[in-house]
Structure 1
Amino acid sequence: MPPRRAASRAAIRAASRAAAGAPSRRAVPARVAAARAAAVLAALTASALGFGALGAGAAEALPAAADPAAPTAVTRAALDPALAEGRGARVDFAEQEAENAATSGTVIGPDRTAYSLPAEASGRKAVKLTPGQYVEFTLPAAADAVTVRYSLPDAPAGGGITAPLDVTVNGKNRRSMTLTSQYSWLYNQYPFSNDPQAGLLHPDWWITECGCVPAATTPAPVIAKPFRPTHMYDEQRLLLGRTYRAGDKVRLTVPAGSPAAWTVIDLLDSQRVGAPHVEAAAANALLFGADPTGRRDSADAIDRAIAFAKRHRLPVYLPPGTYQVSRHIIVDGVTITGAGSWYTTVKGKGVGFYGREAADGGSRGVHLSRFAIEGDVRERVDTDQVNGVGGAMSDSTIDSLYIHHTKVGLWFDGPMSNVKVTRNVITDQIADGLNFHTGVTDSLVQDNFVRNTGDDGLAMWAEKTTNARNTFDHNTVQSPTLANGIAIYGGADTTVTANLVADPVREGSALHVGSRFGAEPFTGSLRIDGNTTVRSGTYELNWNIGLGAIWFYALDRSIDQADIQVTGNSFLDSTYNAIMLVSDWPVKDKVRIENVHFKDVRVDGTGTSVVSARVAGSASFENVDARNVGAVGVNNCGSFNFPATGSEFTLVDRGGNDGGGTTGPWLAGWELPNTITCDDRPPVVAPPAPSPW
């Protein structure tokens, strides 16, 4: 969850030469606060006016495939599921993209340009509806619940609006959802603003849009407002009241009288939830005064249930209902379970389940499962402790939660060990989805589904104390609006396996290995194995260049102590490069990247190169097959000194590196021994959609 600052003056001066950029740093989050003052969740009653077509992006005619009689394709991260088989979170819902459904609206996109509605949509397309229009999905399997991902306009002065959406099945049983944009629409520079008409938050920062530092520019540049709109989507869940069959048709209709000028529908997730879970032998929170209607604050009642449960070695049970909690629930040595995340919701401003601070010994034996945490975070304030789950929790499990509208879904401050985070859904966060921060060891993050984070989807950040022996496995991360899908900042013996990452938007990409934010060095091994990325390799705002779907960044120090193995990965439809290794201009002659080995990798489509090297060092390549490469296979700039002896970066060919693009085999000749093939900003050639190899 890094605070982001503009480029240094040295980097600004270097921008016109080659690799000018804006390093970022991380702020240390505040320690866990004591109980926060109670506050009631604000009513969703904002103005019904909107911005019209703000961020609507390009439009195209309704695709012929969206025949009303045709079934709606089931996808995973807007991919044919066969292209992601065995990778990503094993979830119990089916994803269907609106652009593949029957509609009377207009398909927007494809477009990967930041600050546009298509860019932040899954698959970079969505459907825009005006009042009276609909989009209709055919259920692929029995379902009694749906999740709608959507966008509404902001209010003219910010703060969001609300608007209705009608849901019918087979033309009957109409239910009305009240959508809101009160948790969407951030603007401007970090840490962002909710005011679309605000001037620059940092007029002394480098601005790519004008290629200048505004405070030092005469005359001052005119910056269009709203400046850099982002975080445009939200999602809402709905129980349908009964189970419908495969083949039944779910229609989403914007009522004729809707106050929203437009409603964008991105996708529909459908599933069968079933009956609520009942925990009979437990301390039932209702018996201790918890209010399932949400009218009274239930924090004290839940505390009493926890105290009783610990004395009698029982779990705490939260029956179906909505429980208002406007502070942290401190947990240690306790199990808390709900009736299921569709039935039990803990909701409020400042809500969170926190272990004790590591400095106070942390917590142990915490087990949280089967409920939703619904926050009320609408702006990014990094010192606020408004995360869904936080603190230090060793020997603990977090399973089957739905975490929505908090700052960070789960932020762990170690030292701590042996926490397992499994089968959770984490969406619409202002910052990270999950972060292992400082001394987290022997822990697992598996089968989690993360969508629409405002910073890294999943991160390990070894600040001051190293992280060690942690694993991110079989997770899905979709549409982070800033930074990376999965990011590793230092640490020892780390494993990143079988994840699916799609559609990062800017200032990051799908997979990231970074020596930055004051992280401890990479040591031991780093294994990045069997992951799939799609529509990644994004635009880096500050450097004004394209990144790789996977990118290594040496800033604070060299990346040269760990054995880094990148094996069996698939990089699909990369907007720019598939692989990038880079440093920043002020440290380009001080840092290196070494001991990185790519093996059994498939690259299907790049806008530019397979490999972009902008740093000193070396990497080896074996059985890296590529096709549909848009530019020269290797863009080797090294450290931009261009010595007569060749680039400062060496590519080692270990054989079996086949395929390429219009320029011929992607690796042949460019590695002998370290040929300079530097094009700072090569033309981008959009690749075709990925297909079976």
Structure 2
Amino acid sequence: MLRSTSTAPAEARPSTGPLRRAGATLAAVLCLGSLLGGTALAETGASAHPQPPVLTRAALDPSLVQGRGADLAMDEQEAESAATNGTVIGPDRTAYTLPAEASGRKAVKLTPGQHVEFTLPRTADAITVRYSIPDAPGGGGITAPLDVTVNGKRRTTMTLTSQYSWLYNQYPFSNDPNAGLLHSDWWITECSCVPDATTPAPVIAKPFRPNHFYDEQRLLLGRTYRAGDTVRLTVPAGSRAAWTVIDLLDSQRVGPPHVDVRAANVLAFGADPSGRRDSADAVERAIAYAQRKHLKVYLPPGTYQVNRHIVVDKVTIEGAGSWYTIIKGRQITLATPAPDGSVHTGVGFYGKDALAGGSSDVHLSGFAIEGDVRERIDTDQVNGVGGAMSDSTVTGLYLHHTKVGLWFDGPMSNLRVTGNVIADQIADGLNFHTGVTDSTVENNFVRNTGDDGLAMWSEKTANARNTFARNTVQSPVLANGIAIYGGTDNTVSGNLIADPVREGSALHIGSRFGAQAFTGRLRIADNTTVRAGTYELNWNIGLGAIWIYALEKNIDADIQVTGDHFLDNTYNAVMLVSDFPVKDLYSITNTHFKDIRVDGTGTSVLSARSAGSASFENVDARNVGAVGVNNCGSFHFTPAGSEFSLTDLGGNDGGGTTGPWLAPWELPNTITCDDRPPVVAPPAPSAW
């Protein structure tokens, strides 16, 4: 079978206190933790001439995003660029389709007997497969096999599942493909009507708005393979899945598990690494012992069943690595709702509530949290990491199938979240909610969230002086890649955001959801977005790759957008808007764009649908699909011009077939309003 070649070193036997009881089993657990590859079944023929690997980052040539986004030593290969006898689907950016939710808006569809084969670009001992298989006819998902062969000689079978994908209907969505409208009093774009107010009632096709199609699964290959070796994914004959879509393969070198012989080993306190028995109590006993003895807590390789929150304070908990130590839980229905409105609980590590003083000096690293969340219930606290944690760190976790990977309710300060992978969430990847200050989210990889990838939400108290830096956010199914809702002196820099699917953008600055006003300075610097700017169903228009939205207050803080690259924009690169009912109440001012590159827009560089103003300096654009500035102002169309004015500070070059993107005749506030301009698909981005 495919297994890790690593074993426990002799010095891994603890020698003091209750830790001694763990020594005899540690080597066995390390072996257990390596059995993640499955069973070797057969040998098959290898490709005589492997196809050279095509490496990408967010489905782009890596040279186009150099120095931006997370660096977690994963090599991404898109299935559509690999060798296959399947069918390439896409490109398509239409929401509720399989290509739209795929990385790069393409994937490969396989039927039983078909395969896709990747060539490793460098040494690797682990892979991640992003895939989709059909739902069950009545919802709830199915399982189906996928054979993995390496060099045609070693084969294991992964068991894919659609139990955590396939949502339907309107927010907050349903698992039932046959459900009627959840909100028949809402505007429905598909019928251009409010069904409750329509006679006769429209027929809405079912399933209505299927989405959240993809999931991912990880596999340890059992040994280290070399560059040039091939990994073939084959749908076996007789698969229950009529089709299997492969989006991409990530490969990496994980290396041996981490061992800490001086820590409080959870095995000594009764934890079960087989996952058959609940280990929550044992983990808590280890934490209590470690706090008394001023030790770390160590989680050796294995799968530990934990079905509730582990409350942490003043403790360091480290695993053997996120590929080896798995904390896995079932979602549990509570007998009565909790005071916070939760009707379920599940696996998670939580700081104490801020109202109870919060937690501090918490350090979590080196393990995976596998949740069991299959529906969106916003009152549920079923997040991977939560609560309030000041002066703390979260590093090297893999967070999968929870509601939100990390949701922090402040006030709290000085948290560092670094080097984590957050995948396949029902809602956000990470959210700083209410009074989080002086904290950093850096070098994290976020993919396939059901809401914002990364968010700061200043709902009751302003978030201040926080930084989101050098993260990669891919394919948020709903909403935005990175969203900032109010706050003071925050920074978003050096991130890579790709392929938002619907009703959101790559970068969002929003006065909404009851957020405190923006004050001080907001820096949006040196980020790259690609294939961004989605279709807003309620407005029936396309958004910008960066979307600034004054819904509940003026946005008049100092907003500096500097050094950003907006690539292959579906609609506009930049959009500033106030919702129509409040267009005469709120405006957007004091916003400045400098040293920007825009490579390809389906429509304009700038769409202004608000009163206010912005300045532009050294904004270079090419492959612009419509007039450079689509200026509607606040839709009064006065003889004096638009209510939104532009200041040209020089160096604004380039454009498209209609001429310079920022032409003298557009300044300062010429009305150029085209509510829904034709979309011209831009060419693929290239070196500037």
Q: TM-score, normalised by structure 2?
A: 0.91
Q: Which of residues 159, 162, 168 in structure 2 aligns to 1:187? A: 168
Alignment correspondent of 1:356: 352
Secondary structure of 1:537 counterpart: coil
Q: Tell me whether 1:396 sits opposite 2:392 in the alignment.
A: yes
> Which sits farther off after the overlay, 662-671 or 425-434?
662-671
**What is aligned with 1:405?**
401
Q: How does 1:372-387 map to 2 (within 5 A)?
A: 372-387=368-383
Question: How many angstroms apart in 2 are the aligned matches of 1:197 and 1:464?
Answer: 38
| Inter-CA distance 567–550: structure 2 relative to 1 (3 Å threshold) | same
1:604 partner letter: D
Aligned-pair CA distance for 1:670: 4.4
Q: Within the alignment, does 1:131 sit opposite 2:106 as a pair?
A: no
CA-to-partner distance for each residue in 1:488-540, whole Å, 9 max, x for gaps?
A: 00000000000000000001010000000000011010000000000001111
Q: Secondary structure at the match of 2:573?
A: strand
1:303-382 aligned within 5 A:
303-349=284-330, 350-382=346-378
1:109 aligns with 2:65: no
Distance 1:673 1:516 in 2: 28
For 1:575-586, list aligned pairs within 5 A: 575-586=570-581
* 1:154 has 2:149 as partner: no
Tell me by how many angstroms 1:67 deviates.
Answer: 12
Which structure 1 residue ranges, 5 or more long, are not aligned?
A: 1-65
Q: Distance in 1 between matches of 2:682 and 2:581?
A: 34
TM-score normalised according to structure 1 size = 0.90
Q: Does 1:447 align with 2:459?
A: no
The answer to whether the aligner puts 1:254 opposite 2:235 as a matched pair is yes
The alignment status of 1:275 with 2:271, answered yes or no, reads no
Cα separation, 2, equivalents of 1:472 and 1:344: 27
Return 5+ residue gaps in structure 2 as ranges: 1-46, 331-345
> Could you tell me how far apart the structure 2 residues matched to 1:306 and 1:444 are?
26
**2:68 paired residue number:** 87
Q: Does 1:119 align with 2:100?
A: yes
Residues of 2 paired with 1:413 and 1:610: CA distance?
A: 37
Q: Percent identical across equivalent pairs?
A: 81
Residue 385 of structure 2 aligns with an amino acid whose one-letter code is V
CA distance in 1, matches of 2:271, 2:286: 9
3-state DSSP class of the match of 1:118? coil
Matched residue SS, 1:311: helix
Which aligned runs of 4 or more in structure 1 are off by greater than 3 angstroms?
66-69
Cα distance between partner residues in 2 of 1:520 and 1:669: 37
- Highest relative contact order (Cα 8 Å, sep 6+), 1 or 2? 1
Q: Where do residues 548-627 of structure 1 align in structure 2 (5 Å cutoff)?
A: 548-560=544-556, 562-627=557-622
- Does the aligned pair in 1 maintain the 2:50–2:119 contact within 8 Å? no
**Cα distance between partner residues in 1 of 2:539 and 2:167:** 22
SS in 2 for 1:456: coil
Equivalent position of 2:456 in the other structure: 460
In structure 1, the residue matched to 2:430 is: 434
CA distance in 1 between counterparts of 2:539 and 2:200 reads 23
1:242 maps to 223
Q: Distance in 1 between matches of 2:608 and 2:544?
A: 10
1:529 paired to 2:529: no
Partner SS state of residue 55, structure 2: coil
Residue 603 of structure 1 and its aligned partner are, at CA, apart by 0.1
CA shift for structure 1 position 218: 1.3
Q: Is the 8 A contact 2:51 2:118 kept in 1?
A: no
Residue in structure 1 matched with residue 79 of structure 2 by the alignment? 98
**1:68 Cα deviation (Å)?**
6.0
Superposed, which structure 2 residues align to 1:634-649 within 5 Å? 634-649=629-644
The answer as to whether partners of 2:395 and 2:420 remain within 8 angstroms in 1 is yes
Residue identity matched to 2:272: D
Which residue of structure 2 lines up, in the alignment, with residue 656 of structure 1? Answer: 651
* AA partner of residue 582 (structure 2): V
Match of 1:59 in 2: none
CA distance in 2, matches of 1:216, 1:290: 58
Distance in 2 between the 1:265 and 1:174 partners?
18
Q: CA deviation at 1:172?
A: 1.0
Q: Which amino acid aligns with 2:355?
A: A
Match of 1:669 in 2: 664
Aligned equivalents of 1:360, 1:667: Cα separation in 2: 54
Of 501, 504, 507 in structure 2, the residue corresponding to residue 508 of structure 1 is 504
SS in 2 for 1:346: strand
C-alpha contact 2:120 2:226 (8 A) present in aligned 1:
yes
Partner of 1:495 in structure 2?
Answer: 491
The structural deviation recorded for 1:541 is: 1.2
Return the alpha-carbon distance in structure 2 between the equivalents of residues 92 and 83 of structure 1.
17
Query: In the alignment, residue 208 of structure 1 is paired with which amino acid?
Result: T
SS in 1 for 2:220: strand
1:296 is aligned to 2:277? yes
Q: Post-superposition shift, 1:464?
A: 1.2
Q: CA RMSD in A?
A: 0.9
Aligned residues: 627
Counterpart position of 2:540: 544
Q: How does 1:15-26 map to 2 (within 5 A)?
A: none
